[in-house]
């Protein structure tokens, strides 16, 4: 079994017999998740509707091709083509995984679409469709998985469930032209923290990644393709290869990651970072009612003491 660029995968047993549902696994980052989970011994349900980057159409062969690739290499996989942006579709995807493999251990919420547009021109449909796939889809699949895990706990079973959300630098740091996508991805980062607190009692950890990789969804962004080609030519290493994202997700899906929950990781190429959450910065206090007129001097001074917003690399803008 090889990655998308033909590099060999090193087999292992990190996820031996773990049962994994990956949404949007027909192409790109999700495809690499599927290959590398399987290489580490997991049984993989490859979910993908096979839609275009903008969410239109469907190619139900996309998921099957990945499942066939895994099975031909000695792994174990099945395909599922349900639309996880719907409550019923998400429920079927989870139920199909449990029926096919006898359980469920890991949910990797990866499905996504793009409808990039400057906010002043964005339509209601462009907003709703992106939110539906990224945010509602992640909610719905996770919600049905949690129903299964709760039932297992009530039956006296020990659960080692794992949920991996897919956020984005657009959601953590902001990106012009992606108000819908960035809002959904920021919400997923927040959802990760909340669910980690809520689901720990069930034996379920929840983490997120904010990946950077060259896929169908990013190949149209300025500079991505050129940067990948330049890096490959100069160093022989392509930091934008989506294969570099999966190892972290595979580890987060393993039992070895039990102590880590509620964290968002930035990941690309040869770099993995822990995204530090919102914190209370400089403050001012008063024992008297606030005078709005005084804010004209006070608020700019307060903001001046605070760290600035980050650029897309996660570093403070200068």
Nearest to 101 by CA among 171, 38, 8, 179: 38
Any catalytic annotation for residue 136? Answer: no
Task: Write down the catalytic residue from 96, 138, 181, 254.
Answer: 181
State both tokens at 197. 């607190």
Q: Report yes or no: 316 and 177 within 8 Å, Cβ to Cβ.
A: no
For residue 242, give the 3-state DSSP assignment.
Answer: helix
- Separation of alpha carbons 257 and 263, rounded Å: 12
Q: Is 181 a catalytic residue?
A: yes
DSSP states of 249-290 as a string?
HHHHTSGGGTT--S-EEEEETTEEEEEPPP---S----SS--
Cross-strand pairs, 161: 204
Query: Of the residues 136, 170, 185, 257, which is catalytic?
Result: 185
CB 163 within 8 A of CB 107: yes
Spatial CA neighbour of 15 closest among 259, 256, 264: 256
Phi-psi region of 44 (alpha: psi -120 to 50; beta: other; left: phi over 0): beta
Name beta bridge partners: 160: none
Euclidean distance between CA atoms 261 and 201, whole angstroms:
12
CA-closest candidate to residue 69, choices 132, 6, 119: 6
What is the total residue count of the chain?
Answer: 318
Residue 154 falls in the annotated catalytic set: no
For residue 30, give the nearest of 14, 45, 10 by alpha carbon.
45
Indicate if the alpha-carbon torsion angle 7, 8, 10, 14 is positive or negative: positive
Q: Which one is catalytic: 96, 168, 170, 257? A: 168
Three-state DSSP state, 16 = coil
Rg (CA), the chain: 21
Residue numbers annotated as active site: 168, 181, 185
């Amino acid at each position: 079994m090889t990655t998308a660029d033909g590099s060999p995968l090193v087999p292992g047993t990190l996820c031996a017999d773990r049962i994994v549902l990956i949404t949007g696994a027909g192409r790109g980052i999700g495809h690499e998740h599927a290959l590398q989970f399987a290489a580490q011994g997991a049984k993989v349900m490859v979910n993908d509707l096979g839609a275009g980057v903008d969410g239109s159409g469907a190619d139900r062969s996309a998921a099957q091709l990945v499942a066939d690739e895994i099975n031909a290499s000695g792994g174990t996989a099945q395909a599922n083509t349900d639309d996880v942006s719907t409550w019923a579709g998400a429920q079927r995807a989870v139920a199909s995984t449990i029926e096919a493999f006898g359980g469920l251990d890991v949910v990797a919420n990866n499905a996504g679409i793009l409808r990039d547009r400057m906010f002043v021109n964005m339509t209601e449909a462009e907003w709703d469709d992106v939110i539906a796939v990224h945010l509602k889809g992640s909610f719905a699949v996770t919600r049905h998985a949690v129903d299964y895990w709760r039932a297992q706990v009530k039956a006296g079973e020990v659960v080692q469930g794992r949920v991996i959300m897919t956020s984005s630098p657009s959601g953590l740091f902001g990106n012009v032209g992606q108000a819908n996508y960035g809002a959904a991805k920021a919400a997923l980062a927040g959802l990760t923290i909340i669910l980690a607190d809520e689901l720990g009692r069930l034996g379920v950890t929840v983490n997120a990644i904010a990946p950077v990789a060259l896929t169908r969804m990013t190949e149209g962004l300025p500079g991505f393709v050129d940067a990948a080609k330049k890096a490959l030519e100069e160093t022989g290493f392509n930091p934008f290869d989506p294969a570099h994202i999966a190892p972290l997700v595979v580890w987060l899906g393993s039992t070895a990651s039990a102590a880590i929950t509620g964290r968002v990781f930035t990941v690309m190429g040869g770099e993995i970072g822990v995204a530090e959450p919102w914190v209370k910065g400089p403050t001012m206090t008063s024992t008297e009612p606030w005078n709005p007129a005084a804010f004209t001097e006070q608020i700019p001074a307060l903001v001046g003491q605070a760290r600035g917003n980050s650029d897309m690399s996660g570093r403070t803008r200068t």
